[in-house]
A = this chain, B = another copy of it.
């Protein structure tokens, strides 16, 4: 061929330990699922696979919502689908904003014609103040409150309990971004009365990136059906997806069949482990990593009491480039961690503790790598990160 390529055919991808906040490593069973024979999107065996995927998603979302499925696009698409279906011209939306992904919600809402966007701001590294959110709901009586459960850019877990009551009292819907939390952080959708909750396949669920699980309450579905204007997006019209995934399976798009196989297997692994046990596992490894990071003399970015168990964030010491350390871990240990998003991008690390990647060996390797990197740039770590983590592991029983 004439095309000049970076990688000749015989070059393979490197084998990485994925400790960024997604994608996480996939379990061998998920890889095997990916190479099941490809069938048509109307094949009876595939329709059965879709139904199983939906049933497993209900278990993981802890919901009975009939409209529970996975969108054929990456995690961010769930956010767009949720907002574009719930909002229409003339509506007000309240967005709780203390991070990069909440800002994306604002961006998406701002693009929608005739939607009034009310932002309740918060400091990065902290949750948005509950009272400010509640009072905005009472004051603006919006169509929806949009809020991020686990803000991947800061490592903060936003408390959600009790928000629904105020939303529903004001006839507003509660829309929750659970991209970085579903399957790794406690999130009982029905108990918390969340109306639209979306996630990504490649984080705590450890399926390959490319699908966006979503669940929609009956209340939200009724609101969508009562719209006065059509949903601006055909691709993300949730009613069309609900019909495709539901019993009549009417055609909307050609399902990404192999991605659904992979997601189904990843969900089976979640359900076999048990949602609660999996969450406990995420908490344990996040605690060990957090302790280790502090033992190294580093400061966690997310404030105490609101640290999410699936993403640990830490500030870089003065004079250290987060990017250079990321590169060092990638090149020397094949371990991937992330730098910050937005303004602080080179001033902090974001380390994922997600799904199949959330293992003791991986946590120890990250801590060892960070220690080595700090020495490389001439700093003396405060203490041994690995030893501090080991102590957590010794004293905690899952």
Contact = CB atoms under 8 A, between A and B. Distances in A.
A80 B235 contact: yes
B253 A75 contact: yes
B111 A59 contact: no
Nearest to A236: B235
Contacts of A380: none
A59 B3 CA distance: 7
A7 interface: yes
A354 to B, nearest CB: 12
Contact of A232 (B40, B232, B258): B232
A188 interface: no
Contacts of A58: 3
Contacts of A209: 41, 254-258
Interface in A246-284: 251-259, 261, 268, 271-272
A210 B16 contact: no
A4 B208 CA distance: 24
Contacts of A41: 23, 209
Interface residues of A, number: 86
Given A73-B77, A111-B233, A34 B37 contact: no
Contacts of A4: 55
Contacts of A258: 34, 208-210
B56 A3 contact: yes
Contact of A271 (B1, B251, B338): B1
A73 to B, nearest CB: 4
A31 interface: yes
Nearest to A24: B38
A230 interface: yes
B208 A38 contact: yes
A34 B36 contact: no
Contacts of A59: 1-3
Contacts of A55: 3-5
Contacts of A210: 72, 210, 256, 258-259
Interface in A50-92: 51-52, 55-56, 58-59, 72-77, 80, 84, 89
A131 to B, nearest CB: 30
A393 interface: no
A318 interface: no
A132 interface: no
Contact of A330 (B43, B73, B257, B272): B43
A341 interface: yes
A87 B261 CA distance: 36
A129 interface: no
A202 B255 CA distance: 10
A153 to B, nearest CB: 11
Nearest to A271: B1
A54 to B, nearest CB: 10
Given A14-B43, A80-B235, A209-B257, 5 more contacts: A3-B271, A13-B46, A15-B37, A41-B209, A210-B258
18 contacts: A3-B55, A3-B58, A6-B52, A13-B45, A13-B261, A16-B40, A18-B38, A22-B254, A23-B38, A23-B40, A39-B336, A73-B73, A75-B254, A76-B254, A111-B231, A209-B254, A232-B233, A233-B233
Interface of A: 1-7, 9, 12-16, 18, 20, 22-23, 25-26, 31, 34-46, 48-49, 51-52, 55-56, 58-59, 72-77, 80, 84, 89, 104, 107-108, 110-113, 200, 202, 208-210, 230-236, 251-259, 261, 268, 271-272, 330, 336, 338, 341
